[in-house]
Amino acid sequence: MVDAGFVVFQDLAYGILEGCVFAVVAHGLNLIWGVTKVVNVAHGEFIMLGAYGAYFLSAWFGFNPLLSAPIDALIGLGAGVLFYFGFLHRELRGKETVTLQTEMVTLVATFGLALFIVNLATSVFSVNPVGIPWNPGVVRAGSISLPVGSLEVAAISVAVIAATHVFLTRTYLGSAIRAYSQDIAAAQLVGINPTFVAAVATALGLSATMLGGALLTVWLPSGINPLMGQTFAPICFVIVVLGGPGKMWGSLVGGLVLGVIINVVPAFVEPSVGASLALAIAFLVLIPVLLFAPEGIVR
């Protein structure tokens, strides 16, 4: 390896940049999980839909991912409301805690949804991977080159996470959501409508997810395909568990950890083994975290 140090720093830079996007992609899952205590198994499929949304906006109107992201976010809001009333409302309505039954039902129902979306997408989109031809160039920081596109989406990702933090802590609706996530009965006692709050949280969650999918396309120059959700969903699960479900900045911490693992590990092992080993480690990181820090590594 020539100049190994340089390679690692380059990978580290990529890891951090990609990690930011992972974070926003997982953020929606974090939000929904943290507030409604329901895990959306179809999460990966919504990421995929967001990516395809950006692809079609690019193919039809020439929008780059930065422009597509807010449009995807709006679509996500609508999808979130539909998703809430279709899947979650029946189980959550009138209940003060999430029972094992609810957990099972939503796990299975969202799993069915995932199956449905993936296969519909495969039929409609075809399995051939596509990409968005957008390349705004590269900047150099010392001996490290940083693609402008990656920098921009990383910045937007962090901004989105920060915005949700501000929303949750500084606005009335945000406080209502936080109250609901801590104690539904108490929230109702102070006049908060649980259905409204849960629906809003779900809408925001899917909105962030689809926005993330759009931003993610920058890292997938030729990798947008119907099955991509099946790779990213587990990554998101690990990220949320790492950061702690419901802890908003946890998404960023988890995302960065995974981004770094996936990009830096291959630098230390043989090229043929690198990508697979990195993925395996990224996935298995979940286990020690669950064993030793089940609430997540963020305080």
Partner 1 sequence: MRLPRFSPSFYGLGLVLVVLAIIAPALPILSLTFLTSLLIYTALAYSINLITGLTGYVSFGHVVFMGTGGYALGYGVSALHLSPLAGVALGGAVGLVLALGIGIVTLRFRGVYFAISSLVTALAALQIVLVTPALNDGQGIVLSVGFQARNVFYTIWLIVTAEVVLTYFATHGRLGYGIRAIKSDEDAARALGIDATRLKLYVFMLSGLFAGASGALFAWFTSGVFPYVVFDLTFSLFMLAMIIVGGMGTNVGPFLGAVIVYVSYWYALTVPSLLGLAFAAIGVIVILVALLIPAGIVGTIRRRFPSLRGILE
Residues that bind partner 1 (CB under 8 A): 39, 41, 87, 90, 100-101, 103-105, 107-109, 111-120, 122-123, 230, 234, 237-238, 241, 272-273, 276-277, 279-280, 283-284, 286-287, 290-291, 294
Looking at beta carbons only, is 188 or 231 nearer to partner 1? 231
Instruction: Quote the least distance from Cβ 285 to partner 1, whole Å.
Output: 9
Instruction: Quote the least distance from Cβ 283 to partner 1, whole Å.
Output: 4
Looking at beta carbons only, is 53 or 226 nearer to partner 1? 226
Looking at beta carbons only, is 103 or 152 nearer to partner 1? 103
Looking at beta carbons only, is 67 or 107 nearer to partner 1? 107
Instruction: Quote the least distance from Cβ 292 to partner 1, whole Å.
Output: 12
Looking at beta carbons only, is 174 or 254 nearer to partner 1? 254
Looking at beta carbons only, is 124 or 190 nearer to partner 1? 124
Instruction: Quote the least distance from Cβ 38 to partner 1, whole Å.
Output: 9
Instruction: Quote the least distance from Cβ 288 to partner 1, whole Å.
Output: 9
The phi, psi pair for 190, rounded to 5°, reads -95, 15
Instruction: Quote the least distance from Cβ 37 to partner 1, whole Å.
Output: 9
Task: Check: CB of residue 241 under 8 Å from CB of residue 283.
Answer: no
Looking at beta carbons only, is 80 or 296 nearer to partner 1? 296
Cα–Cα nearest to 125, from 26, 30, 229: 229
Instruction: Quote the least distance from Cβ 165 to partner 1, whole Å.
Output: 24
Instruction: Quote the least distance from Cβ 115 to partner 1, whole Å.
Output: 3
Looking at beta carbons only, is 142 or 294 nearer to partner 1? 294
196: CB partners within 8 A, 6+ apart: none
Tokens of 274: 């690198």
DSSP state letters, the chain: -TTHHHHHHHHHHHHHHHHHHHHHHHHHHHHHHHHH----TTHHHHHHHHHHHHHHHHHHH---HHHHHHHHHHHHHHHHHHHIIIIIHHHHTT-SS--HHHHHHHHHHHHHHHHHHHHHHHHHH-SS-B-------EEEETTEEEEHHHHHHHHHHHHHHHHHHHHHHHSHHHHHHHHHHH-HHHHHHTT--HHHHHHHHHHHHHHHHHHHHHHHGGG-TT-B-TTTHHHHHHHHHHHHHHH-TT-HHHHHHHHHHHHHHHHHHHHHS-HHHHHHHHHHHHHHTHHHHHHH-TT-S--
